[in-house]
Amino acid sequence: MPQEEQIVVAFQGERGAYSEQAVRRHFGSSVTALACHSFVDIFEAIHQGQARHGMLPVENSLAGAVVPAYDQLMDHDLRIQAEVILKVEHCLMAAPGTPLESVVRAISHPQALAQCERTLRRLGVEPVSHYDTAGAARDLAAEQRPNTAAVASALAAESYGLEILVRNLEDLPFNYTRFFVLGLSDPPRKDPSKTSIVFTTGHEPGALHAVLGELAQQDLNMTKIESRPRRNRPWHYLFYVDFEGHVDDPGVQTALMGILKRASLLKVLGSYPAAPLPVRSPND
């Protein structure tokens, strides 16, 4: 029997990053996760055949949009094949045998440290900025710094042989990151679906209202809108919009035709299965 092809999924960051955790959540533990230096490298890995898919973070429920990711969606012709919503659970980790009482400083990405600020203060631990969460875990494991811990994912602790001292270190438990799964082709339809588009409008009163009105006329629920400056036209903007529905639906097709007539540019990024929205628990 022919050997089954190994699925390779590119992500940005070091081994053990939250993006790798999203890869394994969506594709399973047997997938090959390809670490990339930048978001651009994710797209290049797919275009060059080094990976079949990419895992791209696009927004966090606390920090907002991942701006560089949106820029790359416009610059490349890849299709959104799915969305993944990952609960971010920060862990305080150190070399095996390190007592929590001995930890005086923790290294991590500034955003992760900010999300754990109150808890770290209560523990008497000084936050120290590092370029990356998983990178902090990797460097700590390699350098064996005394009285030092890292803030990263449980996968990072597992990847670098560190011991988790405190789980759920984050101050606000309702902390989620949304990812797009990218590929070269459109996925099979699976409802409920979402569609993502990017468009520009004329620089005139009511232009954006008119475009969004095309969605409203077809009773399509918009779930997100994000604006980004056009890099080749100062003070003009790209608008990224997600809405419920599939590009094959008659109402969606009618709305897109209406938007095409009103917008100066329209790009459909993909129709894909919608991930279930996280539900706030009584303890959140």
**CB neighbours of residue 220 within 10 Å:** 20
- Could you say which of 39, 179, 239, 243 is catalytic? 179
Q: Is 239 a catalytic residue?
A: no
**HSE (side-chain half, CA atoms, 13 Å) at 280:** 7
Dihedral of CA 225/47/20/106: which sign?
negative
**CB neighbours of residue 237 within 10 Å:** 15
Cα dihedral: 258, 264, 270, 275 (round 10): -80
- Could you say which of 133, 148, 177, 200 is catalytic? 177
Collapsing DSSP states into helix, strand and coil, what is residue 19?
A: helix
Placement of tokens 């917008």 in the chain: 263
Q: Is 177 a catalytic residue?
A: yes
Cα dihedral: 176, 50, 41, 76 (round 10): -90
Q: Which residues are catalytic?
A: 177, 179
